């Protein structure tokens, strides 16, 4: 297993390098000039060129990429075009709230999806199955921005039981309960979307396993149905579920972009939207690199969990 992890890590290095090249080209090919957003409208052409030279934008694009890559290997992602702060510090400040929201959303999603998926599979073609399937389709179909705005309208404006956005109450003392209340709405919005797709995969995986001969043998030996379903069947149905979990972790960063903006959650998603609007190239590159790393790490984690769920799987 250790050799497999090392080999996958070494393979990930050229993949990350290719991702950075592609992202750098896309970011720099976007329409608009960042200098125009940070300089006085009455500035002369000479002033604009001086600013471009200071930001390194006059160099050929391959030179700009080379300088950026060398600095990244040194642990320096440059300074933001907007605030002139170190990008690494901005990422470090924002990644905590995003990880908190991601973790909370995933917990909600799996607490909803796994029991519902098991019930749907064990009661196939019943009204319970049709009801859970309907919930699944609704969770997949309703966009996050629509669900988020609807949740704010109902719980924050009509019933006034939850805050509209932010991470803490302005002027308040903060604390765990205050953060938890602010996290409920965005967490439920993200978790509902993930649970919608997860229910279908759990149901499908369980249906494939429930008809196996070894489960019939277990029932014939008098093993309780609860143990048959939740111990023997569920563990053997985990492989496809783990695959989806590995896909959800990086996708949640992308999904959180819209949700964090709606709820004004001070995470990487909100930072990404602000960086796109201000053409903040260094910050965008850092966020894209972090997202690429999350994809590679989650895929490796899923491979490791395969062998945990099924001891027959060996990596040589």
**pLDDT for position 33:** 75
Residue 220 tokens read as: 């014939």
Distance (Å, whole) CA 215 – CA 23: 49
- Between residues 305 and 123, which one has the greater pLDDT? 123
On average, the pLDDT of the chain sits at: 85
Res. 7: pLDDT tops 80: yes
Res. 55: pLDDT tops 70: yes
Residue 278 tokens read as: 């201000």
pLDDT in tens, 222-267: 888 888 888 888 888 888 788 877 777 776 665 578 888 889 899 8
Mean pLDDT of 281-295: 89
**pLDDT for position 247:** 78
Instruction: Provide DSSP, 18-54.
Output: HHHHHHHHHHHHSSS-THHHHS-TT--HHHHHHHHHH
3 state DSSP class of 86 = strand
Angle at 55 between CA 53 and CA 57, to 5 degrees: 65
Mean pLDDT of 270-297: 88
Q: In the chain, what are the domain boundaries?
A: 2-73, 95-309
Which of 50-59, 149-158, 195-204, 277-286 has the least mean pLDDT? 50-59
**pLDDT for position 252:** 67
Res. 54: pLDDT tops 60: yes
pTM of the model: 0.85
pLDDT band at 66; cut points 50, 70, 90: very high
**pLDDT for position 196:** 87
Instruction: Provide DSSP, 240-263.
Output: HHHHHHHHHHHHHHHHHHHHHHHH
Res. 218: pLDDT tops 80: yes
Q: Are 179 and 266 in contact (CB under 8 A)?
A: no
CATH code of the domain made up of 95-309: 1.10.3720.10
Q: CB neighbours of 165 closer than 8 A, spacing ≥ 6?
A: 152, 182, 262, 263, 264, 265
pLDDT band at 22; cut points 50, 70, 90: very high
Q: Are 219 and 134 in contact (CB under 8 A)?
A: no
Dihedral, CA of residue 176, residue 148, residue 88 and residue 285, to nearest 10: 160
- Between residues 120 and 237, which one has the greater pLDDT? 120
- Count Cα neighbours of 216 within 13 Å in the Cβ-side half-sphere: 3
**pLDDT for position 283:** 92
Which of 80-94, 166-180, 240-254 has the least mean pLDDT? 240-254
pLDDT in tens, 128-172: 989 988 888 888 888 888 999 999 999 999 998 999 888 888 777
């Amino acid at each position: 297993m250790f050799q497999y992890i090392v080999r996958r890590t070494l393979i990930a290095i050229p993949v990350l390098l290719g991702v950075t090249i592609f992202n750098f080209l896309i970011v720099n090919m976007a329409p608009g000039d960042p200098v125009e957003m940070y300089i006085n409208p009455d500035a002369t052409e000479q002033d604009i060129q001086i600013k471009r030279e200071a930001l390194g934008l006059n160099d050929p694009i391959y030179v700009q990429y080379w300088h950026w890559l060398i600095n990244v290997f040194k642990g320096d992602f440059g300074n933001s075009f907007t605030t002139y702060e170190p990008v690494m510090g901005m990422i470090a400040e924002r990644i905590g709230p995003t990880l908190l929201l991601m973790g909370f959303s995933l917990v909600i999603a799996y607490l909803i999806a796994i029991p519902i998926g098991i019930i749907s599979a064990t009661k196939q073609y019943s009204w319970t199955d049709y009801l859970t399937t309907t919930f699944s389709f609704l969770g997949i179909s309703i966009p996050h921005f629509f669900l988020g705005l609807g949740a704010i309208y109902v719980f924050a404006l009509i019933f006034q039981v939850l805050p509209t956005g932010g991470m803490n109450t302005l002027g308040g003392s903060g604390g765990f309960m205050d953060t938890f209340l602010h996290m409920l709405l965005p967490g439920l919005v993200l978790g509902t979307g993930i649970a919608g797709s997860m229910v279908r995969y759990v149901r499908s995986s369980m249906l494939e396993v429930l008809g196996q001969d070894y489960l019939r043998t277990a029932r014939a030996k008098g093993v309780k149905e609860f143990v048959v379903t939740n111990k023997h069947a569920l563990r053997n149905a985990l492989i496809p579920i783990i695959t989806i979990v590995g896909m959800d972790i990086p996708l949640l960063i992308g999904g959180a972009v819209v949700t964090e903006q709606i709820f004004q959650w001070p995470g990487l998603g909100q930072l990404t939207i602000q960086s796109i609007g201000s053409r903040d190239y260094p910050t965008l590159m850092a966020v894209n690199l972090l997202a690429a790393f999350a994809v590679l790490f989650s895929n490796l984690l899923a491979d490791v969990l395969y062998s945990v769920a099924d001891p027959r799987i060996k990596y040589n």
